[in-house]
């Protein structure tokens, strides 16, 4: 009899970038801490809320939780809450009895019963219709669902992982999300940082995606120069890891070297302050970061979310500018 052994976070952290199991991880201290929290949450099988900007890899974290937890041999069923059909959402999630409504020719288990013993991943949970939220709360509190047309609830054994790029506390304040449901889902929160705050992991991602798409499109693997890699580390990445993946895949499709896209005026993370002198604003930010970090360049770089090499260049530019002014 074979025994399935779940990989530990330490094992996954030690894997090479070529491994599909570990690309979501990296060296960033915040990400390593999140991984530790994920390991504990997977062990006790409690509800987990994964938050972060679009493109940060929230679904990959759900897959990681499934992979390292005791439910790894049972289903992981994803549900896009934003794509639920309003008239059929309750049936899609909780199932229905034969004849429960027009067109219900047979019985349906629904997602929660189909995932018995496994995990249901509720992506974009902030988009879930308000009228369905009490039924989800019942799954979390009592571990039961009532199919449409049924007279009695049915027990289910599932772990729930939810993800959102919305601020659910603001959604609660606006009356669009139930406060009690928010607290039940938020037993453990994995707050995934944007790519611009984990610059040290960008080389790892570049190598991973380059390996992946070279194999997919039967191309020679692209090896970035130091200058190209620095450009990737300095770019703002408004679309996060998904955008980085797209840039590299597009290069393999077109059989050319990856090029960084220009920020468009409509990008959500592009600067929108009504400043008139960008250099003056940049210099003020560098000075403040140095003051806050007591002159430590590495910590100042982390505060600004830039690569240490970029920080060194900014400090040099600042010194030259101040000498010129004097």
Q: Which two tokens stand for residue 107?
A: 């019985």
User: Quick one: pLDDT band at residue 275, thresholds 50, 70, 90?
Assistant: very low
Query: Tens of pLDDT along 14-66?
Result: 544 444 445 567 788 999 899 999 999 999 999 999 999 999 999 999 999 99
Give the pLDDT confidence of 213-244 residue by residue, as tens digits.
999 999 999 999 888 898 999 898 989 999 99
Please choose, from the candidates 186, 205, 187, 210, the residue with its C-alpha nearest in 3D space to the C-alpha of residue 195. Answer: 205
> Quick one: average pLDDT of 141-163?
91
d(CA 48, CA 59): 12
Domains of the chain: 9-82+111-193 (3.40.50.300), 195-264 (1.10.8.60), 289-326 (no CATH)
> What pLDDT was estimated at residue 265?
35
| pTM for this model (two decimals) | 0.74
Cα R_g (the chain), whole angstroms = 24
Tell me if 53 sits within 8 A of 240, measured CB to CB.
yes
- The pair of structure tokens assigned to 75 is 């289903």
- Minimal CA–CA distance to 69: which of 48, 38, 31, 23? 38
Q: What are phi and psi of 162, to 5 degrees?
A: -120, 155
């Amino acid at each position: 009899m074979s025994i399935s052994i779940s990989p530990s976070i330490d094992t996954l952290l030690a894997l090479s970038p070529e491994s599909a199991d570990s690309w979501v991880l990296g060296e960033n201290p915040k990400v390593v801490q999140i991984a530790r929290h994920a390991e504990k949450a997977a062990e006790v099988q409690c509800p987990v809320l994964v938050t972060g900007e679009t493109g940060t890899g929230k679904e990959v974290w759900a897959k990681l939780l499934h992979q390292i937890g005791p439910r790894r041999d049972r289903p992981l069923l994803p549900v896009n809450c934003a794509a639920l059909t309003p008239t059929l959402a309750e049936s899609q999630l909780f199932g229905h009895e034969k004849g429960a409504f027009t067109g219900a020719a047979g019985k349906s288990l629904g997602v929660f019963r189909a995932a018995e013993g496994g995990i249901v991943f509720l992506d974009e949970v902030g988009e879930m219709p308000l009228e369905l939220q009490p039924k989800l709360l019942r799954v979390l509190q009592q571990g039961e669902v009532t199919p449409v047309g049924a007279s009695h609830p049915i027990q289910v054994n599932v772990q729930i992982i939810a993800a959102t790029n919305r601020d659910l506390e603001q959604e609660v304040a606006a009356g669009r999300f139930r406060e009690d449901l928010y607290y039940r889902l938020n037993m453990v929160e994995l707050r995934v940082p944007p790519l611009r705050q984990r610059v040290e992991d960008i080389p790892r991602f570049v190598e991973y995606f380059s390996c992946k798409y070279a194999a997919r499109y039967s191309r020679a693997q692209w090896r970035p120069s130091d200058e190209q890699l620095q450009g990737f580390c300095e770019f703002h990445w408004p679309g996060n890891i998904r955008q980085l993946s797209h840039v590299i895949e597009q290069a393999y499709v077109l059989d050319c070297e990856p090029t960084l896209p220009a920020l468009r005026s409509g990008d959500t993370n592009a600067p929108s302050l009504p400043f008139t002198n960008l250099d003056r604003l940049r210099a003020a930010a560098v000075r403040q970061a140095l003051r806050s970090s007591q002159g430590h360049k590495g910590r100042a770089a982390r505060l600004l979310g830039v690569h240490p090499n970029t920080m060194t260049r900014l400090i040099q530019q600042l010194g030259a500018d101040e000498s010129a002014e004097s």
